[in-house]
Structure 1
Amino acid sequence: MTAQFDMFAQSHEEPGVVELAALLRSCPLVLVKKLSNNDRDWARLPNKHQAGVYISPRERDSGFFPNLVDKPRSDGGAAIRECFFRTEWPQVDEVREATRLVHYTSKGPETHLTGVPKAAFATLSPASFLVIGRYGVDGAARFQCLTIDSASDDALVLADTLDLPADFVAGVFEPEAALAAERERILDFAGEATAAWLGGTIAQFATANAALPSTAVLARMAREQYLAGHHLATLDPFLIENPGDTVREISRTIEWELFRKFQRRERAIELVRTILGDTPGDVTVTAVIRSLIDNIGEVDRLMLSASQQRKSRAGYSFEHQIEAMLAAGAVPFEKQVVMDAKKRPDFILPSLARFVKPVPGAANGLILSAKTTLRERWKQVQREMAGGDLFLATVDENVAANAIEDMATLGIVLVVPEALRMSRSTEYVRHTNVIGFGDFFRTELAGRRMPEWGCWAGPSHGGQ
């Protein structure tokens, strides 16, 4: 079984993960906010007026923060509602005695958390998180705050532990309840595994139920579930309003839930086999307790986050869904074709021959590369260009502005889901070399290239 990250460990090579694990383990109530660009820009750019983090009315009025009270005013202006409380910021070794939550009623619902350390926000990637843990209630409440960089392993641990959806914005959670719910899901299937153990067929049961499907099979299952749920017969990108959001939902939500379902089965079976073994017999309560004590480390690992295994499979999922969309749209392509110097781009459109030797006066072929996360990997992709056009598809939210600008100077066009393209948490909307999947299919392909490639691009495909 793939080794899992131990959120209950006392030490780990990533200090941030330890701090996050400690907060989630000990704190009864946690507020999580995905940071918008404005929530970060004030700490890293000059001439920004916002000096803190926007808090939505739902979270403001949830009971998580102290009650807002009217600030006395002598000028007769619109009411200002505020409260002050102590916040601790262990990552930057600061304590703020008077962090302020303030609502200027003249500005509508807009509420800000101010009096927070700039150092905690200044270097964060786009779509990072603010996590606030509340200990105690009312006047005795104290708040511990962490900022979680979206490009770090901490972000995966946070998302997996609290089961944050791909389109998550903000919410208040009870971590122990989230962990208990995950344990219950595992233990539900453990009952079936125990019955198999009692019948002496645990090994056969494990073979039939514990193996994760291949990435291609899991991708197909997710795709079929999406199509059924949306009453669609095809994944044709020319017939879907926002095909990028569709790819994101299939690969980052539906397929992830399917993956977790299979992984829970895997963990449940491993749990039963770890505690009881493979051979049924007269098992006493004392023997079970002793086995639990002897194997407590392994039991903990079986109950923990699937983040690392998720990371290793996510890229294949994204690539499978793009391939299915290309095929459904009748877009000609070749996959993983070996070019010179052993370059192997994900997709070449319409073909390697057309890419290497363009037809005079016609639109060139292109390379479409698929990367779930970019970080520095886009520099590897750049070597695949071979003098042609390169489109880089991603669902990565945390690509920094300077990286997008560097890609623009090299002629790389980013293709992202439509919701991410316009999101206030990403840097994409600020750059002209970023387009949505819909623009890629309808404008770049059907509107410009496919007719010149001799491919069908009828009215429903946005063609002539």
Structure 2
Amino acid sequence: MAFELETIHSSLNWGLIEKFVLKSGQLFLKKLSRNDTSWATPSGSNQSGFYVPKEIRQSGFFPSLEPRNGEPHIHEAKCPAFWPQTSELRAESLIRLFTKKPSECHYTRIPKKLFKDLNPASWLLCGTLLDAMDEAHHWFMVIDSQSAEAELLEARLDVSADFHFGLFNPTALSSTTKARTEVAIELEAEIDAALRSGSIDGLLRKYSKLPSPQHLSSQARAIYLTSMGYEDLDPWMIERPGDAVMRISRDIEFALYREHELRLRAVEVAAILGSHHSTASAAVHGFRSLDALFLSASQQRKSRGGKSFESHLTCLLDVGEVNFEPQAILGQRRPDFVMPDARAVGANDRTDFYAAAILSAKTTLRERWKQITHERFNCSIFLATVDDRISAETLDELREAEIILVVPESMKEDKTESLYRRDANVISFRAFFDDELAIKRPTLVREGGLLLARKPRPKKRVRRPQER
């Protein structure tokens, strides 16, 4: 069965996705929650399908529901669909709503094997077919969150950190569609003029340097603070500091970075292709240069994400007047933040377990979190992340290693993602500052910070994803 699942998911590639996107009138994307996939496990419920959000159900994307004969409290509609990954046409598929529980609307009678053993926060992509395939007017694909296709999907659709579901125009995912933004139009004209005049080297020099991570982080924070009406990134006054850091790092700063990256990489590609006398020559002889260029771009993008997250955490601790030493050397390790300093953590004869703490930061966990477990310290170890793709196995390993996971408030509170919500070893940034620092470890916070911690903070209305 494991081999079968691996074969099914490995059969998915971007070419297959784009083939069906081009056949579609509209796209529906949903981040799969635990409730959407748990039914496919041996101990799963009888739900047998994924939830259809009310907004999507009422949008006209799916057929209208009608009361079932003799059972008016059940509304349903047949919705045959094609599943390219398994080459199945499911004519018996349907949407079912229990009106006594209006939130329970399921799309059911679907390929169970596609929903089994998925990583958390995987994707369901669906399209309405312009030309029906027999009875089917819809198609569905399941995209594992750890796949290259998921990364490309998120980049193409510019998916925000708090995205749960939405409808899209197929042109947003098609590689044949040009992004006609103001920046893109201006850049096209610049590159075209430079190629005609032979001054592409000058344009390369103009865009050869990306802004420093510190500059981008500072700019992103300023945009966020202005939009929210905050004076600074104060963890004691901001109601949801974890959500704030996630939005600044994963949405605002990444958007700024991509704008600068577009200029640099587009000019570099133009310089490589423009040095050849024909398209064929550029494709053959420029391949190695292009391959190296895109590898470098991918590595730089991932490196930037980690630095961005650390930068905003540093700001939270600084403004919150928390005593810490960054990148302190502890044996063979260099944690991101040691509180209050390395000397305090290294005092092995200390009897007060709450006199120090270690905070590490990882935007995504994968296996790299194990780097911080090789040595034992006489204090708590916290691991901050904005990763919503952590498996149950990894959470068990973190608990066994006595590492407390710190996640944004929206992730901890998400009722559909019980992996975090029900795990006592997973806490929110709000709980980290209020409980773990201000209450349990007040010596780690300077007097001014403690005074702010004990003041009631102004409440801000939290906008839901569909309102954004």
TM range, normalised to the smaller chain?
0.7 to 0.9
User: Using a 3 Å threshold, how does the CA distance of structure 1 residues 355 and 328 change in structure 2: closer, same or farther?
Assistant: same
Which of 451, 458, 462 pairs up with 1:459? Answer: 451
Residue-by-residue CA offset, 1:248-290 (whole Å, 9 max, x unaligned): 001100011011111121233235434555xxxxxxxxx9xx7
The 5 A counterparts of 1:73-222 are 73=70, 77-78=72-73, 80-90=75-85, 92=86, 94-108=88-102, 110-136=104-130, 141-179=136-174, 180=177, 182=179, 184=181, 185-196=183-194, 201-222=199-220
Question: Which of 97-106 and 346-355 deviates more?
Answer: 97-106
The answer to whether the 8 Å contact 2:437/2:444 transfers is no
Question: Which of 400-409 and 13-22 deviates more?
Answer: 13-22
Structure 1 position 314, deviation (Å): 1.4
In the alignment, what sits opposite 1:389? 380
1:371 and 2:362 aligned = yes
In the alignment, what sits opposite 2:338? 348
The 3-state SS of whatever aligns with 2:91 is strand
Question: Which of 48-57 and 410-419 deviates more?
Answer: 48-57
* CA–CA distance in structure 2, aligned partners of residues 296 and 186 of structure 1: 23
In the alignment, what sits opposite 1:6? none
Question: Which of 395-404 and 199-208 deviates more?
Answer: 199-208
* CA–CA distance in structure 2, aligned partners of residues 361 and 264 of structure 1: 52
In the alignment, what sits opposite 2:48? 51
Over aligned residue pairs, what C-alpha RMSD do you find? 3.2
Which AA in structure 1 matches 2:126? I
The answer to whether the 8 Å contact 1:42/1:50 transfers is yes
The answer to whether the 8 Å contact 1:362/1:453 transfers is no
In the alignment, what sits opposite 1:16? 12
* CA–CA distance in structure 2, aligned partners of residues 454 and 264 of structure 1: 43
TM, length-normalised to structure 1: 0.84
The answer to whether the 8 Å contact 1:187/1:268 transfers is no
User: Using a 3 Å threshold, how does the CA distance of structure 1 residues 101 and 293 change in structure 2: closer, same or farther?
Assistant: farther
* CA–CA distance in structure 2, aligned partners of residues 402 and 350 of structure 1: 32
The answer to whether the 8 Å contact 1:447/1:462 transfers is no
- Which 4+ stretches in 1 moved above 6 angstroms? 297-304
Which of 265, 268, 279 pairs up with 1:267? Answer: 265
User: Using a 3 Å threshold, how does the CA distance of structure 1 residues 141 and 221 change in structure 2: closer, same or farther?
Assistant: same
User: Using a 3 Å threshold, how does the CA distance of structure 1 residues 171 and 197 change in structure 2: closer, same or farther?
Assistant: same
Structure 1 position 374, deviation (Å): 1.0
Q: Extract unaligned runs of 5+ from structure 1.
A: 1-12, 278-286
The 3-state SS of whatever aligns with 2:216 is helix
In the alignment, what sits opposite 1:10? none
1:431 and 2:423 aligned = yes
1:441 and 2:420 aligned = no
Structure 1 position 355, deviation (Å): 0.8
* CA–CA distance in structure 2, aligned partners of residues 230 and 378 of structure 1: 32
With a CA cutoff of 8 Å and minimum separation of 6, indicate the structure with the bigger relative contact order: 1
Question: Which of 364-373 and 58-67 deviates more?
Answer: 58-67
Structure 1 position 410, deviation (Å): 2.3
The answer to whether the 8 Å contact 1:69/1:82 transfers is yes
TM, length-normalised to structure 2: 0.83
Structure 1 position 397, deviation (Å): 0.3
* CA–CA distance in structure 2, aligned partners of residues 394 and 375 of structure 1: 11
Residue-by-residue CA offset, 1:71-125 (whole Å, 9 max, x unaligned): 333x6x33523123132241x4544221112223333253210001211111012
* CA–CA distance in structure 1, aligned partners of residues 375 and 20 of structure 2: 43
Structure 1 position 348, deviation (Å): 0.6
The 5 A counterparts of 1:276-295 are 276=274, 291-292=278-279, 294-295=281-282
Count of aligned positions: 437
User: Using a 3 Å threshold, how does the CA distance of structure 1 residues 463 and 225 change in structure 2: closer, same or farther?
Assistant: closer
In the alignment, what sits opposite 1:36? 33
The answer to whether the 8 Å contact 2:327/2:336 transfers is yes
Which of 288, 310, 323 pairs up with 2:301? Answer: 310
The 3-state SS of whatever aligns with 2:100 is helix
The answer to whether the 8 Å contact 1:131/1:146 transfers is yes
Residue-by-residue CA offset, 1:405-454 (whole Å, 9 max, x unaligned): 22122221100000111124531001001111111112211222133677
Which AA in structure 1 matches 2:256? L
* CA–CA distance in structure 1, aligned partners of residues 299 and 106 of structure 2: 35
